[in-house]
Structure 1
Amino acid sequence: MGMLRRVAASPYALWIAFLLVHIVVGGLALIGGKGLGDVIFVYEPWARLAAMGSSVVGVTTDWVYPFGALVPIMLPLLFGVDNYVGGWLTLVLLVDAAAFAVLIVGREPRRLTAAWWWLAFLLLLGPIAVGRLDAFSAALAIIGLLWLTVHEKAAVAVLTIATWIKVWPAALLAAAVVAFRTRWRIISVAVATSLIIVAVPLIFGAGMHVLSFVTAQTARGIQVEAPVSTFWMWQALLHVPGAQVYYDAPLNTFQVSGAGTAAAGELMNPLFAVSAVVIVLIGIRAVMRGTPVTRVLPELSLALVTAFIAFNKVGSPQYVAWLAAPVVIGLAYQGRGFRTPAVLVGIIAGLTQVFYPFLYDWLLALDPTLVVVLTLRNLMYFAVLAWAVAALWRKRHRAEAAWDLLPAHAWPSRTPRGAEPQPATVERH
């Protein structure tokens, strides 16, 4: 056991495992291009058109993503216009490596556990972990959360940048505002960073196109992978009249139809809004009762991000990648205290890879086994949400968090010699 622990703590073993995981996942993504469909058929055309200046999404036209997403979409062109996929996978490797370096610096045992969990999570999730924009936002989210108690302003700036790539990290910023006493500074840095980002497309005449992502997907139907679609997937499987899976060509997605789907789709955004407000209020209650940040930030982040997925009519497989950041910070702060959600999220990742991408056609054909797998995966979201909300609600005395630790290291900045992780009771204000 001692030898195993020494190997697990070895930086050589960690980085070799990191490279092997990305080689395996990247290799799987390249098989038939199934894990890189958006990269090949959506991102690359956007990048080429923007490079030619004929159409810049988010600037000259409306776009489904925030403007910041254009940066990771354009960067692979630096590796050559004919090597876009290779450039994409290389960039994902590099941004993940940056997050991994931040995570393992100082080789604190809990952060090493979180690092090994993240590698296992990427393997379980499979090709989709590297085949979408969410890979960039997830890695930046991990960096931002780990920096929050060491370099707050830089952390908030990173989380804000991640939000302008994909919207979901806004949930992490909201959790930080609730959990930390420096909430007004967090808000001001986030607003300032956002203004700087928005100024770029506005200078080039984007106008209201810069905010088009807010309403771009409101008219879409319910995607087959979304938790809310489960009811109609079973109806389609049982041949209930009107229930079926169909392809929406303009959006390049497969959706479900049937009695009540339109109403259910319209209810999703209000339902998420209500659930988010309730969760934030529970988080505020926890803070007012003296719960340390190590017991608020991870649980509140996990609850908000999971609600974002659970009450979403899109529910794409890559959304699972969002759950990594809250689990990583939870393991880094609490260690074994965050074991339950870590296991549950790992199961969600594994179940997702069962049906996506290689057996996705079978799911669309309503294979009974895969519909069961999808159902179990969607139910697991609510299990994670229930755990996070219950953990926030339960009175958590500081004595319960006596073994929680706040990070003392923040790569790439220099750390004072001999610096050790600090107990949760000495939160920086």
Structure 2
Amino acid sequence: MLYLLHRDDFGIGGVASEVHVLYRHWYGLFAQGTFPPDDATWQYPPGAGLVIMSPGIFPWLTYFQGFVLLTLLADAAVTVALAHADSARLTHGAWFWVLGLPLLLHIPLARYDVQTTALAVLALLALGSRSTAAHRVGGALAGLGALVKVWPALTLIGTPRGRTTREAWTAAAVTAAVLLATLTLLFSDALGFLRQQGNRGVQIESLGGTGLALARATGLWPGSVQFRYGAYEYVGPYVSTVGHVALLLTVAAFGWLLLWRMRARTWTAATPLDAAFAAVLLFTVTSRVISPQYMVWLLGLAAVCLTSRSTVMRPVAFLMLPAAALSSLAYPVLYVDVAAGTWPGITVMALRNGLLLAAAAVAARRLWTGSVSVPA
């Protein structure tokens, strides 16, 4: 992965440019005391600024070197935590992470998703402890992760009812509120990301984008691809409708998760892990954006599930491996074909998104049957 990052000429190349150019530019703005003002590419919660600023703790390194070093340290933290969770249970979560992450080539080292995944993984493992202090630490990590990239908040969806939920959710809310207030006081335009997020369209790698690509390839849709808001998106008739449908499906997925939580009758040690994995899968497949780095999240959560022998997500977890390989095949290897809408590009995206859709459906079914529809 480090060798590919050093060369950075695989496929379309330029994978590291986001760190070299975009993150480094944002770092300069943070040094001036402001979040990126009116920047269409800044679409992240305020906590992401902490990750972007963090390479500054290594003044003897370049910004890029510091960022990669911190990413490797986060990767190591995930590996050690998973190995510790595996040690007494004869499970294979650590091996899944170690062997699965390189399927994404060097993409994980040039995005901050490994750091975010580390917060979610550590939060879930802490919540599995019987200690009140560990529950609070897990909740605090989830709250911090939510302020970095939102989705780690879903790690709390499966906490057992009662004291664990109260402790974890309270710690998460307090952590997120305190950090948000601090960043708002120290930096200007901390909530500017909300304006940019609302303008996002349908990215070419999303499930809806795959449908539009098929329609365009068969002559049923006259739209085109444009580089907007830091990504390639579809523009043309019905695109806004596809985007609204995706948002409605996301709302429906959230509603289903709330229904599951109210109806669930049986909690095992793996239920919080399985619920978090299923929730992130559902939100991923209904997203208007399914970038390849999203697979880092899913690999991490699948690895956590595999640290428990009582997990019901084992077959779903192993679907993530071919999905990750197809993601890196789409970007950076065949990204020109994906953007142009050629049949090789469409085929790769259809296979990857089809796997994710199937995985989400199987995960939802297994979560429901394992905790709601319990056999007599």
Instruction: Give the TM-score taking structure 1 as reference length.
Output: 0.78
Q: Report whether the alignment pairs 1:333 with 2:308.
A: yes
Distance 1:58 1:257 in 2: 26
Greater gyration radius: 1
Distance 2:283 2:127 in 1: 22
Distance 2:267 2:310 in 1: 17
Relative CO higher for 1 or 2, CA cutoff 8 Å, sep ≥ 6? 2
Shift of the 356–110 alpha-carbon distance from structure 1 to 2, 3 Å rule, reads: farther
Q: Contact 1:110–1:331 at 8 Å: present in 2 too?
A: no
In the alignment, which residue of structure 2 is the partner of 1:90? 69
In the alignment, which residue of structure 2 is the partner of 1:194? 176
Q: Report whether the alignment pairs 1:220 with 2:200.
A: yes
Q: Contact 1:180–1:293 at 8 Å: present in 2 too?
A: no
Shift of the 390–183 alpha-carbon distance from structure 1 to 2, 3 Å rule, reads: same
Q: Report whether the alignment pairs 1:322 with 2:291.
A: no
SS in 2 for 1:254: strand
Give the alignment partner of residue 35 of structure 1, picking from 15, 20, 27. Answer: 15
Show structure 2 runs of 5+ residues with no match. none
| Counterpart code for 2:140 | A
Q: Contact 2:85–2:125 at 8 Å: present in 1 too?
A: no
Shift of the 147–334 alpha-carbon distance from structure 1 to 2, 3 Å rule, reads: same
CA-to-aligned-CA distance 1:64-107 (integer Å, 9 cap, x gap): 21111111111223444972221111110011112222221275
In the alignment, which residue of structure 1 is the partner of 2:275? 300
Shift of the 25–291 alpha-carbon distance from structure 1 to 2, 3 Å rule, reads: farther
Shift of the 344–267 alpha-carbon distance from structure 1 to 2, 3 Å rule, reads: same
Distance 1:173 1:28 in 2: 39
Distance 1:106 1:164 in 2: 26
| Counterpart code for 2:87 | E
Distance 2:297 2:49 in 1: 19
Q: Contact 1:133–1:166 at 8 Å: present in 2 too?
A: no
Distance 1:315 1:397 in 2: 30
Distance 2:94 2:293 in 1: 20
Q: Contact 2:156–2:272 at 8 Å: present in 1 too?
A: no
Shift of the 94–26 alpha-carbon distance from structure 1 to 2, 3 Å rule, reads: farther
**Equivalences for residues 118-157 of structure 1 within 5 A:** 118-150=97-129, 151-157=134-140
Q: Contact 2:47–2:147 at 8 Å: present in 1 too?
A: yes
- Return the offset for 1:60: 9.9
Shift of the 48–390 alpha-carbon distance from structure 1 to 2, 3 Å rule, reads: same
Distance 2:74 2:223 in 1: 42
- Return the offset for 1:232: 0.8
CA-to-aligned-CA distance 1:303-340 (integer Å, 9 cap, x gap): 21011111111222211211123212211112675320
Distance 2:338 2:13 in 1: 18
Q: Contact 2:38–2:192 at 8 Å: present in 1 too?
A: no
Shift of the 239–41 alpha-carbon distance from structure 1 to 2, 3 Å rule, reads: farther
The ranges of structure 1 where at least 4 consecutive aligned residues each deviate by more than 4 angstroms after the TM superposition are 24-33, 58-63, 109-112, 178-181, 395-400
Greater shift in the superposed pair: 218-227 or 256-265: 256-265
